[in-house]
Structure 1
């Protein structure tokens, strides 16, 4: 994605892709989304990535930082974007740290100092053990930082995060699929951290929080049986709002907070009759059950349909964007299903043949 497709994204395609992602999330009941911006090329690309969530009614956090491995200073760029985003609007900002795995500790310190000056929370992808230790030794662990993934770091480093008041974001589907290691859900809880959940990237996995909760739940239950459905709901709502610095505005239906609410159908045959709401949402929830979505009291989805969105025009725009990028990158715009292997396929092969006939 970075080496082949990204160089061929003009700003208008960044806008189209970000718009689709934000609408997909809203359609799936995600009222608040942190967008880790990875298409860093020019100011016009950043502006397009900010314009898309502004054109949707969701609550969005634009997480901007230098590209991984980039030696370029980010100070002026961060300031430019920060001063253009209102503090009290639905679109806010965070700073994406490169961390000591990708740059020097001195640079991390400079970026954290800038984040403090501008009042920005920070997010940091962590892959290697030792990163958290290095940050702590230099006094750089902060309560306003969210560590993403962190697969394989030690229990001691997890406790360091907890002691600092930091948070952790787990992407169970991507982490398992890409071989990062087992999701850190249970270990984080033992260390005193309240995990939050993230989808990560939709070229690889589905873009809804239901499947993310379900994977995290199934994996940890299979390891030690320690979680309840209610835990997963908390990870995706109250704990997530706290990690984004929005606990006073959203995350729970509480007097004084904004009305960020989703309503799920209970008469659908895939969940009827609903006896245990939390268990139903975590074990059988899906975007098709999301009947209504409100963000800050505004209805953005009603009767299962996004409000004031021209879906035919959007689909036409997105197909043109996909085909243009694919042609420029020299990759197929679509992959076709391969015929099933008949010999030795057994029942699975027979099932596939039935599906093809249908």
Structure 2
């Protein structure tokens, strides 16, 4: 028999927990279970059903009027950049490259990596993203990598470090004794709460020096995550080199993959690769049109990601919503170009919920343990429930509700590896204030190092004047009509 509704201090290690009377989105063959219960014992989903019998002393969470779903999985987030949240909100992709790659990337210290990762990790758990791949491409030395890992050690989430160094050559650092020692030091024993991948891009250099980095990953038994199909940066040439070199395998995740040709998509599909779609990024930064409308035609599985909070949010509900909207918008545009009308949407709300959960697990090679509410899998769960939110009632179509109605304020309970880390909308043992102080110190350092002029110019890129289209019907005096910097 279960106990009364719990208080945060009652969530003790090893005590069974049952979610009662939820709308359960399993993301597996069970589909949606109305009025469902999910029993968690230790770190594992022990039982799923209706009116489950549970062990004596089991802690009960009232999940009625709520949706219980698997923890969401972000397969590509530059977590260290979260310390400069929103700084590049008006950037184009070239300004992002210029700021980090050409001008100020060398400014950031290990403690800045730590501060950004700490805030990002806390935010991930807080918003229901229970697993995050940190595409950490500013790890200039293993000391920087240690700083990234320190943040993960302090936040009770599940993380994968995508080790990268955009200021170095991956074929060199991936084979260096220092990197190998870092791997041995931190990843010599299995740990399903912390994983490691190698993160680098293939530039299309005819010599294909990146082959040595792929070989290093193979030697170490590590997956690779790589930006591919980014307009003007990573092209089909890189895919051809990877394929001809025998490096395209199911262990490769291609980030964005927005501007590839038919042969490249077919090679990804044939070799079992996956794609991480970062729709808000692709819509705004110009890597190419979000590729889900193409990926399903080629039979390529995809996951979702937020990319970076230096531009956008870390809101996975927004990621799902933006992806569905972009895909449907493309369908309409393609149909209109043929003078046709879309009569049924091909990408459904259920599909993007799958991308946000099971798709992410598959991209990380964790589909056997994460991504769905399945007996025997790890207990990474999110309860969406907010009895004071008009948007949370009624719940009629659960998948559409998650995508179009719910938001981060509705994240009631978060469980990671069987441990409740947020309950009734409040994090357990994760105060923001110490994290905020570390981030503030990092921001102050970066700002003072750049100097006030460069800081402001970096945040507000200049625009060349653009001539406004003349209006033959312009007989009305526009008065104080708003004029953007673009047309000023």
Contact map agreement 2:136 2:165 (CA 8 A) in 1: no
Partner of 2:181: 80
Aligned pair count?
341
1:91 equivalent in structure 2: 194
Cα distance in 2 between the residues matched to 1:124 and 1:242: 16
* Unmatched tracts of structure 1, length 5 or more: 347-358
**Against the structure 1 CA distance between its residues 167 and 272, is the aligned structure 2 distance closer, same or farther, given a 3 Å change threshold?**
same
Instruction: Work out which of the residue numbers 128, 153, 158 in structure 2 matches 1:59.
Output: 158
Normalised TM-score (structure 2) = 0.66
Structure 2 portions without partners, runs of 5+:
1-98, 332-344, 461-477, 484-488
Bigger shift: residues 129-138 or 58-67: 129-138
Give 1 or 2: higher helix fraction. 1
1:294 aligns with 2:415: yes
Does structure 1 residue 153 correspond to structure 2 residue 260? yes
**Counterpart of 1:15?**
114
- Distance, in Å, in 2 between the alignment partners of 1:219 and 1:142 is 28
Distance 1:122 1:165 in 2: 13
Deviation, structure 1 residue 31: 0.3
Distance in 1 between the 2:147 and 2:457 partners? Answer: 23
- Which of 294, 310, 320 aligns to 1:203? It is 310
> Is residue 158–residue 191 contact of structure 1 (8 Å, CA) maintained in 2?
yes
CA contact (8 A) 1:68 1:102 kept: no
1:344 aligned partner: 481
Larger radius of gyration: 2
Where do 1:209-288 residues align within 5 Å? 209-224=316-331, 225-267=345-387, 268-288=389-409
For residues 213-235 of structure 1, the C-alpha deviation after alignment (integer angstroms, 9 at most, x for no partner) is: 11110011122231100000111
What value does the CA root-mean-square deviation take over the aligned residues? Answer: 2.3
**Is the Cα contact below 8 Å between 2:283 and 2:290 reproduced in 1?**
yes
* 169-178 vs 68-77, greater mean Cα deviation: 68-77
| Higher relative contact order (Cα pairs below 8 Å, separated by 6+ residues) | 2
Q: Cα deviations across residues 254-309 of structure 1 (Å, max 9, x unaligned)?
A: 11111000110153212321111110111123211111111100111111122111
| Contact 1:133–1:157, Cα closer than 8 Å, also in 2 | yes
C-alpha distance in 2 between matches for 1:102 and 1:174: 26
| Aligned equivalent of 1:182, options 266, 286, 289 | 289
- TM-score scaled by length of structure 1: 0.89
SS of the equivalent of 1:130 reads helix
Segments ≥4 residues shifted beyond 6 Å? 333-336
The Cα shift of 1:333 comes to: 11
Residue 317 of structure 2 contacts residue 407 of structure 2 at CA under 8 Å; is this kept in 1? yes
